[in-house]
Amino acid sequence: MNYRKTLLAASIITGLCVSGALYAQDTSQSDPATQTSSTANKHEVKQLSTVVVTGIRGAVEKSLDIKRDAVSNIEVVTAEDVGKLPAHNVADTLQRLPGVNISSSSADEGGFDEADRVSLRGTSPSLTQTLIDGHTVGTADWFVLSQGSNMGRSVSYTLLPSELVSRVEVHKSSEARFVDGGTTGNVDIITRKPLDFEKQFTTNLSVGAVNASLPDTTDPQLSGLFNYKNDGGTFGVMLQVFKQKRHLRREAQEIPGGFATIAPDSALAQSNPDLAGVKVPGLLGSTLFEQTRDRKGGLVEVQFKPTDNLTLGASGFRSDMDANNYNRNFMLWGGNFGTSQAPEPGYTVQNGVLTNATYAGVPGTKYVVYDMIYREASSKTSYYTLDADWQASDSISAKFQAGTTKGVGQTPRQFIAEVTAADGGGASWTTHGNGAPVDWSVGGDISPTGVCGAACFGTWGNQMVKAIDKENWGTADFTQYFDTGVLNSFNYGLRYAKHDREAQSPEGASPGDIWSALQNGATASYPGNFAKGIGGNFPRNLWYFTPGALESTILANSTWLSNNDGPTGRHNYGAEYSVDEKNLAAYFQANFEGDNWSGNVGLRYVNIDQNIDSYFAVTNVADADVSSLFGQWKRLQTENKYHRFLPSANIKFNMAENLVFRFAASQTQTLPDYSALGAAAWGSDLNKTGGGGNPNLKPVLSTNFDAGLEWYFMPRGLLSATGYSMNMKDYVAYGVQTQMLFSELTHQLEPYQVAMPINADAQVTGVELAYQQPIGKYFGINANYTYADGSTDHTWADGSNHLLGTSKNTYNVGAYFENDTFGARVSYTRRTAFLIGLSGANPYYQGNFGTLAASFSYKATDWLSFSLDALNLNNPTYRYYQSTQIPTAFYENGRQYYLNAHLSF
């Protein structure tokens, strides 16, 4: 018998012998004002008016009330008012909770100024499930790699405006009635409902602007809400709209692909034996990224009560974001000369790295490669639901829902110039470990006239990349109530979902003589004080072709080929795959309640049918199913079937009037990332590394334990400690293997070091500590700390066994002040280094970082107020590295200030 299952079953049986579980509380209706009464007629729903929460103090109090009343381990953030979360971004708000981490990227795009992904308890975002009102939401990304070769299961929070949110519930322990898919827990974003409002008419309008310090631009921000419900409270409709634009600039030093190795059998190693096996920077870049994000959309909610015991609802949400971006990377090309040319005498080697070197110029050698990539990009998400809540009798209630959701991320055009420069100019560098940028310089002509384009080394293209994420689902949930004994109720139900995820790259442009037209195109300069915040000495006074010059020249000198197959076509089959999943789930949950205890125990059955369609490269044309300019491919179809019972139990003891003890045990399951299953092997020509998928990956099965003590020592006051452990079977890690892939430079198969996903066991154990306390009538403080110790049985290429996403230490501290007219809040969040993913075939990490934020509000009248939200006030440097000696990137994003006027009627 499986040890994990035996241990879990024993824990659940022990818990049932001691107590049981609290009556069911619906994830999408867990407001205490609508909870089932725990006295007398337990099945009678209280008809209470909606509690209106306004201000910091009211939001803190309501959040703690929900946490205290819940049977399972939950964290809650409640909006301070309509359209006002404690932070401007939903993910930024959640990072202040114990056990929650955020990241600002999902692939290799590097760190930005806005949180994009959420993860729980020292794991990767793909193991945390995000829901809206208890159902899934389709998502896709704007970044081209996240649209194809690095496609996860996490939700992009950049598509979810905070103004839509009533509250957010973070469920850290599982229940059988929860939608399966979150190994470490579920984040449920709760929107407002029309019949929840007190007044017949409610209008809220927010008008403002955001200023970003690096681009030094100010952009408009607009959101509005209108709600109507009739006098009888039987019909209501709510409309929310938003349109928000902002400019981003990121200034950086990047070292794409890390360091190259001097081959021991090379001529350089023969002449300089001390350099055999030594690492040199492959590419050292002065990197300027600029983007405009224009987000618009809305939410419609309708509720109708034809009878007292039946409520019908419909909802529709859409969010579209245009995210055009331009990345320029002027790079010392160490991989071109550093592994073959001997440095001048006086160089130094430390810990296997050539830390200081100067190279004399050699005619014909290119010391610089310069990438300029302008991309048209967008991402969007939408969902539509129909639901019915029916009180069938005094003892039975039912809820039915049908819905569909879709996310699309697309890069229809990429305008790319990759040129060389500094012919024979020589170069030098000095490294400083992973704590500071590399100092480097190059000689020779690096002006526009010194660039050598198509005649030397140039690639030009605009291949289309598109990701589509769709799900259709239906649910039927029932609750049977009881009036006697400790058995309070049963929950049982069914859910069926069909989920499709697809990566497409069907068309592109065949370039003509682009260089002749582009070399005299319009240019612009890097900004003054470029990358001042990250330090270091490297080229800053640089030029680039304008986005308009790139776009117009490439479009005018290339032929767009749509769905053109065959050896001369632009259909990139190697970038395409699809993952189709059918999920049928059934659950049963028993809820118990005694005088000073409550709890639940349940079982969820999950049956998954998974079909994966992908391609792999072949050398023999006769073996190929399809071919194009990108190589020849054979189609691979894989079918996986999984069925599993997932048990769970939660126990809560009221040990004293204000002292709560909780214990939870469960098994949870998460399917591997879509790209981990379907992506064909791909490679980068610059460093001969790449990645790929493995359709035979198994789901991650986690056995979870959770125990905590909470002391609610005063109103809005909490002191808590929680211990947790997760033992994950078939966790997804990455090994490296050599594969023959098609090179766009040589138009033939060449060996690449390819990172391939594999299953391995993993473990996380940790402790969460939290403290909140009001000070007097107007002040309050809060602090929390999370310790997470994660490891995997897999050994990474650097010899470590780290878990993706695990920061060993995370802490938050904050304070607030609020009276009748003025409010202020300040918070600081810091997390230690963690393994973020792979750079080429090598693991790389994000270093320690912390962010400081503040918000201020002023209530001028009952209908007019103002707010100022300031993010990244400390202007943190995001630091990435492979080891103590090998840095990967240093990013500066600047500060952001959101000023808004709020009108409420």
Q: What is the pLDDT of residues 325-353, one digit of tens each?
A: 999 999 999 999 999 999 999 999 999 99
What residues contact 786, with CB distance under 8 A and at least 6 apart? 98, 99, 121, 122, 766, 767, 768, 769, 809, 810, 811
Quick check: is 756 in a domain? yes
Of 745 and 646, which is predicted with more confidence?
A: 646
Say yes or no to pLDDT of 278 above 80: yes
Q: How far apart are CA 605 and CA 725, in angstroms?
A: 23
Taking all residues of the chain, what is their mean pLDDT, rounded to a whole number? 88
Q: Which residue has the tokens 């490296």?
A: 736
pLDDT digits (tens, 9 = 90+) for 177-216: 999 999 888 999 999 999 999 999 999 999 999 999 999 9
Which of 677, 798, 691 shows the shortest CA–CA distance to 737? Answer: 691
Quick check: is 81 in a domain? yes
pLDDT at 84: 77
pLDDT at 87: 76
pLDDT at 160: 87
How many CB atoms are closer than 10 A to CB 616?
Answer: 15
Say yes or no to pLDDT of 753 above 50: yes
pLDDT at 146: 87
Quick check: is 59 in a domain? yes
Which of 781, 769, 839, 856 shows the shortest CA–CA distance to 811? Answer: 769
Token duo for residue 109? 């795009």
Among the ranges 32-46, 274-288, 739-753, which has the highest mean pLDDT value? Answer: 274-288
Strand partners, 511: 558
Average pLDDT of span 418-424: 89
Quick check: is 439 in a domain? no
pLDDT at 563: 59
pLDDT at 748: 66
Average pLDDT of span 827-837: 93
pLDDT at 466: 94
If you ran DSSP here, which 8-state letter would residue 506 be given? -
Round the CA-based radius of gyration of the chain to a whole number and report it.
28
What residues contact 884, with CB distance under 8 A and at least 6 apart? 351, 433, 434
- At 457, the pLDDT band (50, 70, 90 cuts) reads low
- At 509, the pLDDT band (50, 70, 90 cuts) reads confident
* Structural domain that includes position 148: 3-258+284-332+368-421+457-904
Quick check: is 132 in a domain? yes
Q: How far apart are CA 267 and CA 262, in angstroms?
A: 10
- Overall domain count for the chain: 1
- 81-95, 384-398, 683-697, 714-728, range with the lowest pLDDT: 683-697
Average pLDDT of span 829-837: 93
Average pLDDT of span 365-387: 95
pLDDT at 461: 72
pLDDT digits (tens, 9 = 90+) for 755-775: 788 999 999 999 999 999 999
Average pLDDT of span 564-577: 82
Quick check: is 502 in a domain? yes
Angle at 135 between CA 727 and CA 601, to 5 degrees: 50
- At 68, the pLDDT band (50, 70, 90 cuts) reads very high
Domain with 638 in it: what CATH number? 2.40.170.20
Quick check: is 882 in a domain? yes
pLDDT at 24: 34
Strand partners, 690: 683, 754
pLDDT at 37: 33
Its sign, for the CA torsion 305, 306, 312, 317, is negative
Say yes or no to pLDDT of 38 above 50: no
- 68-72, 94-98, 454-458, 473-477, range with the lowest pLDDT: 454-458
Q: How far apart are CA 905 and CA 779, in angstroms?
A: 29
| Helices first, then strands: H and E counts in the chain | 8, 46
Percent above pLDDT 70 for the chain: 90
Average pLDDT of span 580-595: 97
Angle at 275 between CA 269 and CA 277, to 5 degrees: 85
Quick check: is 885 in a domain? yes
